[in-house]
Chain A
Amino acid sequence: MNTSVLPEDSTTGGAARPLGGDGAGRSGPAARRRAVRLLGRVLLHAALIALAAAILVPFAWMLVSSVKRDSDVLTVPIQWIPEEFRWDNFTHIWTRIPLLTYLGNSLFLSVTITGLQVLTGSFAAYGFAKTRFPGRDALFLAYVSTIAVPWQAYMVPQYIIMERLGLVNTRLSLILLQAFGAFGVFLMRQYYLTIPDEISEAARLDGLSEYGIWARIVLPLSKPALAGLALLTFVNTWNDYMGPFIYLTDNELWTVQLGLRQFVGVYDSQYAMIMTGSVVSVLPILVVFLAGQRYFVQGIATSGMK
């Protein structure tokens, strides 16, 4: 199962061929081809930018709403330019709710959970991808299949266990709950499958233990997958509402997503404040994403093939 899936049958003539780009020395058709390619790139670029702008329309609405009055947010027809710009929404929100505390809590949980998920997930994934033992595949299936049960179905049994452990209303409850999920294990296992076994074989012959292979060979090779996992885990934890809602009761433990829901009242909601807060809470994600996506650079991974 854990064989390399690098295509042996593909069109490679072997990496031994000289790398020369296409027709460096030729003229005429090559120059025209280059021009066509340039035009194609420009067009592609323009299309992507236009598409990105269209994709961001709801986000733009969120931004516009964040500087409105509550009663101007949900209007028919939609109001794209506010009648009056309430920039002070962005100063008020820090005093209306203890937003800084909430941001701190969210950050603590997201960083801790992401760290643990990446660490234990990638560690366990090595066990599933690169070691063999009886029952391994069945265990893996058990991991994956728990993802198939909606959380709404088992949240009460889970809560009862947590209550028995005396962990309800502590940060630890959420960390334990979310740091050991199946998602990271599955993601990393799939990535490890693409790393050729020859590499670890060679390391084994050099006398490296399995743990050494994981730490010194496999982990450095899987930086893009680790970045992807970290990014998605961070965002999911940051945006999670129901988990913190059920497990955290004390206000000083609340996360941003809980804090913002305070503006949703029984009879009436303060939508401008919700949108202002949403904009503020998205900024850390922006930073994390911009930092993390730099690992997705073509060519960062060397094949490791001899």
Chain B
Amino acid sequence: MRRPAKVLTAAIALALLTAGCGSGGSDTTADGKKVLRIALWNYDQTPEFKALIDGFKAKYPDIEVRPVDILSDDYSEKVTTMLAGGDTTDVLTMKTLTDYARFGTRGQLQSVTDEAAKLDKAKYGGLDAYDMDGEYYALPYRQDFYVLYYNKSLLKDSGADLSGLTWPDYAALAKQQTRGSGGSKVYGTYQHTWRSLVQAIAAAQTGGDLLGGDYGFFKDQYAMALDLQKSGAAMPWATANSQKVTYKTMFTTDKTVMMPMGTWFAAVLLQEKAAGNFKDDWGMAPLPQLTADGKATTFGAPTAFAVNKKAKNSDAARKFLSFASGPEGAAAVAKIGITPSYTDEAIMNTYFSNQGMPSDDLTKKAMHPDTVKLEMPISEKSSDVDTILTEEHQLVMTGEKSLDAGIKEMDSRVKSEVG
């Protein structure tokens, strides 16, 4: 057994020797340019990144930008693993606030509070969400929120007015607009399977606390959603979930008249129209409200860039953050139909001048909500609570639990399991 033991020792020694040499490219190119590496997702299929990087390169020709392309599906898992291994990628895209909370609290991000101070707060939305005890570790560059999409062609003759809808109005309209049956059925509305479409709406509009462990405020919103699927005005949740129905298919193949969805869907619709896959006219309306007082409250989720604590090129990374979240970055993303965090008159004009973008007053109103609440507040508890609420949401929507029992279970599970 002696010889193998020797070989083993030699192998381990070799492993330890090579351990010194880390991976990762050098931080300058052959011709002396600084290299900036940005972790992002689906580079070829996500035009916003290209728009931002092209704009940045035009402004800073001495910086070479190298996208680190990660698949969007498991983006945060890969970034978590990379950072655990000591990765030195400079800029990290924060796909969700939950990711941000996790990387931020572990000390894996650099503070960018000083960069945030340079921004015009009056025109810059979504920054508050990134406040961690007075420090900011990421700067948002896009701010999506929920609106009500509707198919103008299908709704044309009804004379319906979507400008000041309350939820009961919305439910009545959905029932009235439902037509056909079997394969040619058109639902009045489609509410996708995410829990947010019931829970985050309820929280934003009633002022309820999603982390509080007391979920009585969900009740009316759930009652409406259950009634819609029972009456046949919306596709049953169980069907949509088990058949993996996509909301894009529902809307672009005329299976639904209305659909509450995030502002990102506008860019998708623009592409579909450009490709000739979707022929109808469409528009946006503000999300229906509890009362018809003319104020629009909705919820949303920002997306941000952050600087890796171990970045090789922090200066360039900070420059990129300022660029992306400032007016220039905002103009670049608005040009492809995406809602930037930084908005002013000129940028919104750019947004509405996109080919195929509806520019009627209702759509413009929808794009200027009065209040945008967070989809989920940041806290250490967020993702545990999210798991529980998602599980119980499924049980309520499939009818495996009654509404009251479901809410009771949410209360008790959040209290006992998260505390």
Q: Interface on A for B, CB 8 Å cutoff?
A: 69-78, 97, 155-156, 159-160, 162-169, 242, 245-246, 249, 251, 258, 261-269, 271
Contact = CB atoms under 8 A, between A and B. Distances in A.
B46 A265 contact: yes
B229 to A, nearest CB: 13
21 contacts: A70-B248, A71-B252, A71-B253, A72-B253, A74-B244, A74-B245, A97-B44, A156-B80, A156-B81, A156-B84, A159-B81, A159-B82, A160-B86, A163-B86, A165-B18, A166-B21, A169-B23, A245-B71, A263-B45, A264-B73, A267-B265
B43 to A, nearest CB: 8
Contacts of A267: 262, 264-265, 268
Contacts of A269: 246
Nearest to A162: B85
Interface in B386-407: none
A263 B71 CA distance: 9
Nearest to A156: B84
Given A70-B249, A78-B243, 13 more contacts: A69-B277, A71-B246, A71-B248, A71-B272, A74-B243, A159-B82, A168-B85, A262-B42, A262-B44, A266-B41, A266-B95, A268-B246, A268-B268
Interface string B107-126: 00000000000000000000
A166 B18 CA distance: 7
B74 interface: yes
A256 B252 CA distance: 29
Contacts of B240: 76
A73 B243 CA distance: 11
B58 interface: no
B15 interface: yes
Nearest to B95: A266
Contacts of B69: 249, 251
Contacts of A69: 277
Nearest to B37: A249
Contacts of A160: 84-86
Contacts of B45: 262-263, 265
Contacts of A166: 18-19, 21-23
The 10 closest A-B pairs by CB, nearest first: A163-B85, A164-B19, A71-B249, A261-B71, A266-B72, A166-B23, A166-B21, A268-B248, A267-B264, A264-B73
A36 B81 CA distance: 63
B239 interface: yes
Contact of A262 (B71, B78, B182, B264): B71
Interface string B31-47: 00000000001101110
Given A71-B253, A166-B18, A265-B42, A76 B245 contact: yes
Given A97-B44, A258-B71, A265-B45, A165 B249 contact: no
Nearest to A267: B264
Contact of A249 (B68, B252, B253): B68
A111 B51 CA distance: 39
A77 B253 CA distance: 13
A166 B21 CA distance: 6
A293 to B, nearest CB: 33
Contacts of B18: 164-166
Interface in B1-53: 15, 18-19, 21-23, 41-42, 44-46
Contacts of A268: 246-248, 265, 268
Contact of A264 (B21, B72, B87): B72
Interface string B167-187: 000000000000000110000
B311 to A, nearest CB: 16
Contact of A76 (B44, B68, B85, B239): B239
Contacts of B253: 71-72, 75
B235 interface: yes
B180 to A, nearest CB: 13
Nearest to A134: B1
B233 to A, nearest CB: 15
Nearest to B86: A163
B70 interface: yes
Nearest to A73: B249
B322 to A, nearest CB: 24
B40 to A, nearest CB: 11
Interface string B206-249: 00000000000000000000000000000100011001111111
A77 B255 CA distance: 12
Nearest to B243: A76
Contacts of A74: 243-246, 249
Given A77-B183, A156-B84, A267-B264, A246 B78 contact: yes
Nearest to A160: B85
Nearest to B249: A71
A72 B239 CA distance: 16
Contact of B72 (A78, A159, A265): A265
B245 A159 contact: no
Nearest to B21: A166
A78 B249 CA distance: 13
Interface string B54-80: 000000000000001111111000101
A281 to B, nearest CB: 16
Contacts of A265: 42, 45-46, 72
B183 A168 contact: no
B72 A71 contact: no
B19 to A, nearest CB: 4
A78 B244 CA distance: 11
